[in-house]
Amino acid sequence: MRRRALITGITGQDGSYLAEFLLEQGYEVVGMLRRSSTVNFERIAHIQDRLRLVTGDLLDEVSMINVLRENRPTEVYNLAAQSFVQTSWSQPVLTGETTALGVTRMLDAIRVVDPEIRFYQASSSEMFGKVQEVPQRETTPFYPRSPYGVAKVYGHWITVNYRESYGLHASSGISFNHESVPPATPVVVRRDGCVDIVPIGEAARSSAEPLEVWDGDGWTPVTARSTYWHEGESVSLRARGAAIECTPEHVVILASGERPAEAVRAGDRLRLSPRPEPALVGPEGLARARGGGGDAGRRGPLEGAEAPGQVFSVERRPYRGWMCDLETESGRFAAGVGLVVVHNSPRRGLEFVTRKISHGVARIVAGLDRHLALGNLEAQRDWGYAADYVRAMWLMLQQDQPSDYVMATGRTHSVRDFCELAFGHVGLEWRDHVIVDERYIRPAEVDVLVGDPSRAEAILGWRREVGLPELVAMMVDADLRLVRGEEAVRG
């Protein structure tokens, strides 16, 4: 029988990553949304057709009982929350209702409908607050410093309590801060030292073996693979020495900058990638390039020809079929001999400091802003990569016994460090641009957080794969593309 998971908070950063991950594992994924007058599917638009979306609200237990009765999940991941710490001072009661009591409502709905359901609670490092021990582990006492932290402590203990009172398989993941960047789609790959051009669907299918992809400048490891159903339009770009078909939003690198495919016009010039050195070429070699590579894949770049990469036709067509993405460490891929970049928008909310910085850097580079106003630059956080963390959530529910685990990198950095890395990535000096604004200073601060993930590593076999410098570079690059794309669309 296919396993079925319910995710609350599916429109959020972690919910979207978890949904992708569970779909890849063969789950039926049910996403619980709260009713709103406008849709908020930015992070799940690419997988929306593969999800069952149902309405329910953490403030309303009846709605959750109905969702469970009608959808009969075997696993519930409770990611929904009022998750922004600063807002918890201006909306403390709502934060308590959602982030604290919402957990009881869901646990109680499970107890009533089907106590065999396995439950995951998104606990937070904010529970440690004024830290009593360094690094923080599962046994470190809590000392929350915000209404959000207090609410999370409640959510954590009610999860433990329902486990002990009713024998529910209920686990908590105590997550330290984690951030995100979008996936990318390559077609030129290297496996076991063998260079090949394969249809992206083939690369996306073989998930067990390590894979590298050519990103136009070098080889980069593939960190995640996904295939999704796309109904709508595609854009077909044909150029001298290059051809690509992709969704209209996919960002294409031109000789003059970057632009969504839908904004490319005849006469623009695609940037053509130098070919990787094919030390060994696979049995079908370049002739297998299709779609992404087109004719260009068979002939190679027309070196010396007039205006290589010049677009001579742009066609929009109805499209109903699969699209594939590969996520890479550098955040780019090369398709055939033309270099084509595919990105979605980064998924971390713009109000959180990391994304605020990466987006701020991109706006400064684009000349849209000169300064970035931040609060406490000395606060230290243990920042990891969101896609790494959703794997741990799933692993917790696959254990025979429910338990609580810290998910962290074991390293800590200040907001100032993050600024230095992010501005440094584009050759800017952060001190020239960052200003401190009292509005962003919190009534009570969490000065330093650093987690000890050794229990999760030992019992779950979990390892995080992305470190801070790579994460910062990926986030800034993603926002540079996003901001340039927005500018190009605006004209």
Binding site residues, ligand F7E, CB under 6 A: 83, 85-86, 124-126, 176-177, 351-354, 356, 374-376, 379, 381, 415, 440, 442, 445-446
For ligand NAP, the closer CB: 96 or 338? 96
CB 65 → ligand F7E: shortest distance, Å?
A: 26
For ligand NAP, the closer CB: 59 or 302? 59
133 is catalytic: no
Task: Name which of ligand NAP, ligand F7E, none residue 170 binds, using a CB cut-off of 5 to 8 Å depending on partner kind.
Answer: none
For ligand NAP, the closer CB: 177 or 185? 177
User: How many angstroms separate the most distant Cα atoms in the chain?
Assistant: 75
Residues 441 and 379 sit within 8 Å (Cβ to Cβ)? no
Structure tokens at 427: 């050759």
**Which candidate, 419, 438, 437, places its Cα nearest to that of 429?**
419
Task: Name which of ligand F7E, ligand NAP, none residue 440 binds, using a CB cut-off of 5 to 8 Å depending on partner kind.
Answer: ligand F7E
368: left (phi over 0), alpha (psi -120 to 50) or beta: alpha
For ligand NAP, the closer CB: 340 or 353? 353
CB 10 → ligand NAP: shortest distance, Å?
A: 6
For ligand F7E, the closer CB: 82 or 223? 82
For ligand NAP, the closer CB: 122 or 153? 122
Q: Which residues pair with 174 in a beta bridge?
A: 123, 406
For ligand NAP, the closer CB: 53 or 302? 53
354 is a site residue for ligand NAP (CB under 6 A): no
CB 390 → ligand NAP: shortest distance, Å?
A: 10
CB 355 → ligand F7E: shortest distance, Å?
A: 8
Residues 18 and 41 sit within 8 Å (Cβ to Cβ)? no
**Which candidate, 169, 72, 122, places its Cα nearest to that of 400?**
169
Site residues for ligand NAP, window 176-215 (CB under 6 A)?
A: 177-178
What's phi and psi for 100, nearest 5 deg? -100, -70
148 is catalytic: yes
CB 140 → ligand F7E: shortest distance, Å?
A: 14
**From 88, 124, 125, 175, the catalytic residue:** 124
Write down the residue that tokens 């690059």 correspond to. Answer: 477
CB 174 → ligand F7E: shortest distance, Å?
A: 9
Q: Which residues pair with 7 in a beta bridge?
A: 31, 77
9 is a site residue for ligand NAP (CB under 6 A): yes
**From 61, 126, 179, 212, the catalytic residue:** 126
13 is a site residue for ligand NAP (CB under 6 A): yes
CB 41 → ligand NAP: shortest distance, Å?
A: 9
285 is a site residue for ligand NAP (CB under 6 A): no
Task: Name which of ligand NAP, ligand F7E, none residue 34 binds, using a CB cut-off of 5 to 8 Å depending on partner kind.
Answer: ligand NAP
CB 43 → ligand F7E: shortest distance, Å?
A: 15
**Which candidate, 166, 77, 172, places its Cα nearest to that of 455?**
172
Pattern 79-118, ligand NAP, x by CB under 6 A: xxxxx--------------x--------------------
**From 148, 385, 389, 405, the catalytic residue:** 148
Q: 435-451 in b/e burial notation, b at 16+ Cβ within 10 A?
A: eeeeeeeeeebbebbbb
For ligand NAP, the closer CB: 255 or 350? 350
138 is catalytic: no
Q: Which residues are catalytic?
A: 124, 126, 148
Residues forming the site for ligand NAP (CB under 6 A): 8-9, 11-15, 34, 36, 40, 57-59, 79-83, 98, 122, 124, 175, 177-178, 349
